[in-house]
Amino acid sequence: MKKVCVTDYHYESLKVEQDAIESAGAVFAPMHLEDEEQLVPIADQYDVFINTYVQLTERSMSKMKPGAAIIRYGVGVDNVNLDHARKCGVHVCNIPDYGLVSVAEYTLSAITGLFRKLQFFDAKVRRSDWSYDDCGPLRNFDQCTVGLMGFGGIARTLARYLRAVGFTVIVHDPFVPADAVKEQGCTPASFEEVLAQADLISLHMPLTDTTRHLMNSETMAAMKDGAYLVNTARGPLVNGEDLAVALSSGKLGAAVLDVTEQEPLPLDSPLFSAPNLTLTPHVAWYNEQSLERIHILAAEEAVRAIRGEKLRCALT
């Protein structure tokens, strides 16, 4: 009998997964493992692993059964070493489309809120200051350029929303052909062009050795004075200390971070004292529909793995 291990999770219920997996004739074993060390001694007992945050490397994968499958709750797989998975003959997949709309909607809300300076005006009203003469320039959306770093499903959905309300959208993604960008009504651009031309940059890249700290003191210095930054992708894409400096100096006008390099953010992080920064607790993905979809899609993928079928979103 096949066995499915949930290494760790933060959901109130896994009933959808349990019902689907047990209906497929497999054993369902949800756990709250704290780290990979706890998985190593039991890794050979399971055929399928559903994973959230626990780091998975060759240490645990080498103990897994040949052809075992790892299903990552969510999009990013920076906690699952894909090279090690290939070496160990382990299949890995993610669920890239469960919250596509919700993340795009969140990002649209963050972007429009920044351009309309909602945080700035909220702070003024709380000081009983109802003036607007010091707010700086406010422009119609059709006078503003948004730069998207990365052009996967979320970014393409967001681009459609942004264009619908008038924004000019430029895109940098070295893995997407220029024609595919143009087909979406956007303009392809180099990394340097996005830094120099965008009034706001929104990050939609995976975390890799190349993209870690993509936004740092040097790249932020190349952005427009007073430009905005939004990150709903992976926390380590942004060097938090450098962002705090850029906001404090006024080089950047404001930023929104739904993800940070460490989560929860350490209480001594300079980001807490950085001006004009909005922080949210990694919730861009969340709404009722996305929550329902992630359970259903994970359960369906687990059943495919149990039956030895091709995984829908295979990465290895």
The residue from 234, 293, 295, 304 that is catalytic is 234
How many alpha carbons lie under 13 Å from residue 61 in its C-beta half-sphere? 23
The residue from 59, 213, 282, 312 that is catalytic is 282
Helix 100-115 crosses helix 118-126 at what angle (to 10 degrees)? 60
Q: How far apart are CA 301 and CA 295, in angstroms?
A: 10
Which stretch of DSSP H or E encloses residue 310?
Answer: none
Q: 195: which 2 tokens?
A: 């830094």
The residue from 22, 37, 183, 263 that is catalytic is 263
- Residues 115, 117, 120, CA angle at the centre, nearest 5°? 155
Q: How far apart are CA 4 and CA 114, in angstroms?
A: 44
Q: Residue 285 in contact with residue 99, Cβ under 8 Å?
A: yes
Q: How far apart are CA 191 and CA 215, in angstroms?
A: 11
The torsion defined by the Cα of 242, 248, 253 and 256, in degrees rounded to 10, comes to: 60
b (16+ CB within 10 A) / e for 73-98? bbbebbbbbeebbeebebbbbbbbbb
Please give the order of strands across the beta sheet that includes 48-51.
27-30, 3-6, 48-51, 69-72, 91-93
Is 234 annotated in the active site?
Answer: yes
Is 32 annotated in the active site?
Answer: no
Is 282 annotated in the active site?
Answer: yes
Q: How far apart are CA 166 and CA 34, in angstroms?
A: 46
Q: How far apart are CA 174 and CA 180, in angstroms?
A: 12
Q: What amino acid positions are annotated as catalytic residues?
A: 234, 263, 282
